[in-house]
Structure formats: structure tokens, C-alpha cells
Structure 1
């Protein structure tokens, strides 16, 4: 697998410019740029400057993060989402970035939605977004979020939705903590059921040993420092033949307070063990 960096890892103290320079310095293969950080970058730079960087760099863009709360939108919410999505598609096309991460809706009432409601809405929305992305040559990576506040939680549920959409430009983003947040990854063999052609993105992170319901994204740790069976996940991905991005994505507030260079250097060292 290829070493990737997701900008969420240092987003409170870093910038696109700094992330690019440090990822180049520490040997990353790919970067996942954040849409909000890109908007900040474009306040100071042009898209041609970003194109120029990637043209002369070993590091390449991979997946823009992220279009969130895609389910059960009001007309106003949908229009706002589409505006951001089109910005992402235009940028992705300009810099040869192949994927955009799309995320199901979070809300305290999401657990009240039936499986049928979630399935129908998700397939419809993913189809619409894929139609909108097609002219730009961009693919969608749908990421299930294991916590009960999100409407698509399990890998099995997400795979069923993606297979029903039945498009080569719609696949999955697997995130190790999101797999773990759903029943502590009781069914790790679900990873085996994902066809290789539907596995677009892999996010790696570890976490503290806390009960479900307490464990949250703020408890993410560097790979190898927690309780997620990352070696087993990696082994399954290797057997499947997956050799694309393995991207470190940490939403830990304590890491946000550190020097970005320290975090990016440490993340590279820790993640390489699982490539």
C-alpha cells in the first residue's frame, strides 16, 4: 500500500502549503486535501500554482475530504451541498485528483430511520452525485461511520448500498476506527467481502480502549498505539490485492496542538509498519 496523509490530522495548526511541503519531506505518496483548507489556500494562491506543485512533486492528490451529511437533505441543504460538491469536482479535475469522500448524515435521530429508508435515500443520493461528478471524471468513495449517530454505520450496510448503485464510479472508503466503532469490529471478515474494484480508499488510525458509546473520533491514536487490529486489517487488504492509499487520518485534539512537522513525521513512521 502507498503512504497517504489526510489533512484532518493537523488541520488546526497547519495549512495546505505546509502539509504539502512536510508530506514531500517525509516521503508520503499521496495527500487527501480538505475542501475547507483548499478554500483557504485559494484565498492566497491559484489553482495553477497547485497544479505546478503536483507536476514537480513525488506526492500526488488522491481523495478530497469530504462531502458530509448527504442523506435526508432539505432542498436548501441539498443546494448548499451541491455547491460545495461542484467546487470539489472542479478542483479535483484541475489537479487530477481521482476521488471525493462522501459521508452519510449524522444526527441524534438517525437511529430512528429504518434500514429501508436509509437504503433508498442513499442509493438515490449517490446516483445523483455520481451523475454530477461524471463530467469531471471524479469517483465517489462512500464512507460508513460506525457511531450510532450516523445513518450508515456498518461496512455490510454500506457495501449493500454501493453494490445496489451499481456504478464503476461509486465505491467505498474504509476507515479503521469507523469499522471498530461498529461493534468493535466483531465481524472483521466483512472486509473480505468487499470486491477489490469497490475499495477506493483506506484510512488508517488507532484508538483508545474505551467502551462503545464513550469512544469517539477524538480518541484516535497513531497506528499501533491502540486496540484496533490494524495488522489483521492490513493482512486482509494485502490478500485482496489492495495496493492503493493507506492514509493516516487523526482527529485527535491533542495532536492538533503539536507542531505539524512532529505529527507528520511520527505518522509516517507509525503507518509504514502497516503498509
Structure 2
């Protein structure tokens, strides 16, 4: 498996810092946080960004992310944003755009959610295909997210039936929601475009939050069994450390990347 670092893990640092820090730590690929890319482009050309990836011998893998892609107030705007992000991905040589389902006010019938999501992903897929970019659909384990289970996300991707549309499996959303290792075991490894790895402390009496995430192996999630399951089904792609924890953001950028790499290497 390839080792990845997600820019959310070092949120307060810029893109060039992410590139150099992730490279120095030993990561194979970097997931680009889109606001960092936009900020970098205010002062640097796309060519400068590409050269920095090459100089540091690390590959850009994803752009994170197209949010509220489904059940949006203006789907036309989402199409425009998707095309813009796909064009940027092509320019900076990233292979994948992460696509996040929409949050909804009240629970809808599952068939309605599937119908909306399948239709949207098919349209986005056509756009992405023009730029040779893959779309990785990331279910979120939160109750108010329209797609919050791996089993439903898997059905949706299968129904879309396009080679450039696959899945993100994030351990926070997998175990913090209502999905299981059995759901992972039933997933076609060809449909998994990236894995986001993180851990969670013991949480009782409330729903998990993104900011609860801790480094892999520092929490209570069955990550060893998770990795074993990925290997069992034949997944050999990117496993990327993604946290949204401000306690880590306050560390030096290289220290964040180094800790992330050591924790991920220990797990793998």
C-alpha cells in the first residue's frame, strides 16, 4: 500500500509546506486541500506548484473536495465547481477529486437518496472524464449526511457503473457511523480509490466529530483488523492520514508529518 498525507492534518500550514514536510517524512503521495491550492495560486503559477512536487519527489494524488455535491441548492453551480476542480487536478497532475454527499434537514427514503446521488455522480463523471480525473465518493458517518453507510455508498457506485467513479473509505466515518468490517469485506477493491486512516478515542453520549480524530493506533478503533481486511480483499492503493484535530495543527509542520508517517508505518 502507498502512504499518503492529507492537507487537513496540517490545516494551518500552506501547500508548499505540506509538499516539503510530507516528502521529508517519507510519504508517497499528498492529498491537496483545495483552499491551500487556491491560496498558493494567488502568488504562484500552476507550473511552480508542479515543479515543487517534482523537486520534492512526492506525487499529488487527490484534491479535497467537492462538498454538498448532492441535494445542493444550485446543481449548476456544483457542475461549474466540479469542472473547475477537475481542470485544476489535471493541471497539477492530481489523479482524483474527492466528492462528498450533501447534508439533509430530515431523513429521506433511501431510494430517493440513491436516485439523487446516482444521477448527480453520473453527470459529474461525464465532466471529470474530459480531464482524465477520477471521482472518489466519500460517505460520511454523520446522521444528517444523506449517504452515511458504506453499504449504501457501495450500491450507489455500482449503479453509477463508470470506471472513473469509486469510493473513499474513511475509518472515522466507517466505525463512527454504522458501517462494519463486514461491509469492507464485501467491497470490490477496484471500487476503492483511496482510504483515509485515523483513530478515535472512546466517545459516549454524543455523535462523533471530525475534530475528535487522533493519530492511527492512538485510539480504540480496530485498525489492525481493518488493514487485514483491506489486504484480504486485495486492496493495494493509497492509505492516507487525515485528521481535523487542532492539537496537531499547533505542532511544527514537519513534526506533524513525521508523527503521521511513523504511526501509519507502524500500523501497516
Shorter-chain TM-score range: over 0.9
* Residue 182 (structure 1) shift: 1.5
Q: 1:212 to 1:238 in 2, by over 3 A?
A: farther
Q: Which residue of 1 aligns with 2:129?
A: 134
Distance, in Å, in 2 between the alignment partners of 1:214 and 1:129 is 31
Q: Which residue of 1 aligns with 2:146?
A: 151
Distance, in Å, in 1 between the alignment partners of 2:205 and 2:109 is 22
Distance, in Å, in 2 between the alignment partners of 1:164 and 1:113 is 19
Q: Which residue of 1 aligns with 2:3?
A: 3
* Residue 84 (structure 1) shift: 2.5
TM-score w.r.t. length of structure 1: 0.94
Question: Pick from 117, 135, 138: which aligns with 1:122?
Answer: 117
* Residue 55 (structure 1) shift: 3.0
* Residue 274 (structure 1) shift: 2.3
Question: Pick from 203, 210, 213: which aligns with 1:217?
Answer: 210
Q: 1:27 to 1:140 in 2, by over 3 A?
A: same
CA contact (8 A) 1:10 1:256 kept: yes
Q: Which residue of 2 aligns with 1:21?
A: 20
Q: Which residue of 1 aligns with 2:76?
A: 79
Structure 1 residue matching 2:43: 3-state secondary structure:
coil
* Residue 83 (structure 1) shift: 3.1
1:222-247 CA-partner distances (Å, limit 9, x unpaired): 00000111101100111222221110
Q: Which residue of 2 aligns with 1:170?
A: 165
Distance, in Å, in 2 between the alignment partners of 1:79 and 1:260 is 37
**5+ long unaligned stretches in structure 1:** none
Aligned ranges 1:226-245 → 2 under 5 Å: 226-245=219-238
How many aligned positions are there?
A: 268
CA contact (8 A) 2:32 2:62 kept: yes
**5+ long unaligned stretches in structure 2:** none
Question: Pick from 258, 261, 265: which aligns with 2:258?
Answer: 265
* Residue 82 (structure 1) shift: 2.7
Distance, in Å, in 1 between the alignment partners of 2:248 and 2:78 is 29
CA contact (8 A) 2:19 2:56 kept: no
1:138-158 CA-partner distances (Å, limit 9, x unpaired): 011001101102110100000
* Residue 117 (structure 1) shift: 1.1
Distance, in Å, in 2 between the alignment partners of 1:243 and 1:58 is 21
1:107-135 CA-partner distances (Å, limit 9, x unpaired): 4x14x211011000000000010011111
Distance, in Å, in 2 between the alignment partners of 1:241 and 1:98 is 21
Distance, in Å, in 1 between the alignment partners of 2:165 and 2:102 is 18
TM-score w.r.t. length of structure 2: 0.96
* Residue 67 (structure 1) shift: 0.5
RMSD of aligned C-alpha atoms? 1.3
